[in-house]
Amino acid sequence: MSSTAQLAAQEQQTPPSGVDWEKLSAEAKIQWCGEDKWGFVIYRCSYAKEFDGGWDDFKRHIQRMHESIASQSDAPAIANKMDFVLSKTPRSRAWARADNPVVDMDDPQIMSRGARYEFFLKVDGEGLWSGYVGLVQGWPLSPGDEDWMKIRVSSVGSELYYQLGYPEVWYAYYTPPEDGLSTTGW
């Protein structure tokens, strides 16, 4: 199980000695969790030439986030562990099983697989033009559960990743796609 998933299952963290957990940055919390890698799988779903500029903008956002963490974060070491996987094929479950084989990803008793394995980002043409991406829950709890919402491109970052390590966060912030962008504050 990933470190974030272990923390979510425990529901109680112990901050480093003398440090208030709530005052730590998302980057410091990710570092404290000790994961080997962190970041989302990103699926590009629209390949028409008119979407190339939007796709390049999105990739620049990810690169700027990496540079910002490396140069301005209180936990710059996590920049070296940042791993946003760009993919052309929607295979998040197969990827999660292969990337973390020590965890039974199909176990119905598992509390959380961790943000890296529980969620992925879907980048399509409409989103590229409108400034949002789809945040998709890759393992819906039951058939018919809503499994995605629209979030701002600017929301994709360490705070979103850290928060999604807790299974209940999805339900607290879920906004149906037809209602527009989630206003989660990420």
The pLDDT tens digits for 162-182 are 999 887 888 888 888 887 777
The answer to whether residue 186 is domain-embedded is no
Do 26 and 69 meet the contact criterion of CB atoms below 8 Å apart?
no
Render pLDDT for 99-124 as a digit per residue (tens, 0 to 9).
766 666 566 666 566 778 788 899 99
Work out the end-to-end distance of the chain between its first and last CA atoms, rounded to an integer number of angstroms.
25
The answer to whether residue 65 is domain-embedded is yes
Residue-level pLDDT at 71: 96
Cα(180)–Cα(124) distance, integer angstroms: 15
The answer to whether residue 58 is domain-embedded is yes
State the total domains in the chain.
Answer: 1
Phi then psi for 148, rounded to 5 degrees? -155, 160
Place of tokens 């410091």: 28
Q: pLDDT-derived band of residue 35, with 50, 70 and 90 as boundaries?
A: confident
The answer to whether residue 30 is domain-embedded is yes
Q: Please say if the pLDDT value at position 70 is more than 60.
A: yes
Do 29 and 14 meet the contact criterion of CB atoms below 8 Å apart?
no
User: Which secondary-structure segment (H or E) carries 26?
Assistant: helix 26-33
Structural domain boundaries enclosing 52: 3-179
Looking at residue 108, which CATH number applies to its domain?
3.40.50
The answer to whether residue 185 is domain-embedded is no
Length of the chain (residues): 186
* pTM for this predicted structure: 0.77
The answer to whether residue 184 is domain-embedded is no
